[in-house]
């Protein structure tokens, strides 16, 4: 059986020199970093059969696939950040979870601390101590520009 992973990597052949430390452990995130990919590629090249080295075309194909995956991931992250930033000042609604009532409020800021690790930007809503993922917005309410009564248009 010749199984391949989604990156096109062949599984490592069992040998007495293969150690568990040579294979990176799964992270809590579903994203693969360049470091993870290089570790996998290094382990594959280290454990390959010297009489049947990896084809250069295969190596280049794997690098191209990873580059495409990495660029797509970065585009998705940038797009979610742009969407979250565009909601600042907007009134948004969120559905309730586990029987709890939904929430509505004005987006005051965006917490992007988890984006680099594959997470979603979190919206910080006025009057709430909770953060909501940008993808959980159920409704964006129309913007209303309140006119304060203290402004006199005649001067």
Q: What is the DSSP string of 90-136?
A: -EEEE--STT---EEEEEEEEE-TTGGGT---EEEETT-S-EEEGGG
Question: What pTM, to 2 d.p., does this model score?
Answer: 0.54
**Six-digit token string for 23:** 């294979």
d(CA 53, CA 99): 58
The per-residue pLDDT for range 39-87, each reduced to its tens digit, is 887 888 788 877 877 778 887 888 888 888 888 888 988 899 999 999 9
Topology of the domain comprising 84-140? SH3 type barrels. (2.30.30)
Where are the chain's structural domains? Answer: 20-81, 84-140
């Amino acid at each position: 059986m010749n199984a391949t992973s989604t990156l096109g990597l062949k599984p490592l052949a069992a040998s007495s020199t293969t150690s568990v430390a040579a294979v990176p452990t799964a992270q809590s995130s579903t994203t693969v970093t360049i470091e993870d990919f290089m570790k996998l590629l290094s382990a594959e090249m280290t454990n390959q059969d010297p009489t049947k080295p990896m084809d250069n075309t295969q190596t280049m194909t794997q690098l191209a696939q990873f580059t495409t995956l990495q660029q797509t991931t970065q585009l998705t992250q940038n797009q979610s950040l742009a969407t979250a930033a565009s909601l600042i000042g907007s009134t948004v609604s969120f559905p309730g979870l586990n029987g709890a009532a939904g929430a509505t409020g004005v987006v005051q800021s965006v917490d992007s601390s988890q984006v680099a690790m594959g997470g979603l930007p979190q919206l910080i809503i006025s009057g709430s101590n909770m953060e909501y993922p940008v993808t959980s917005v159920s409704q964006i309410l129309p913007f209303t520009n309140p006119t304060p009564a203290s402004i006199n248009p005649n001067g």
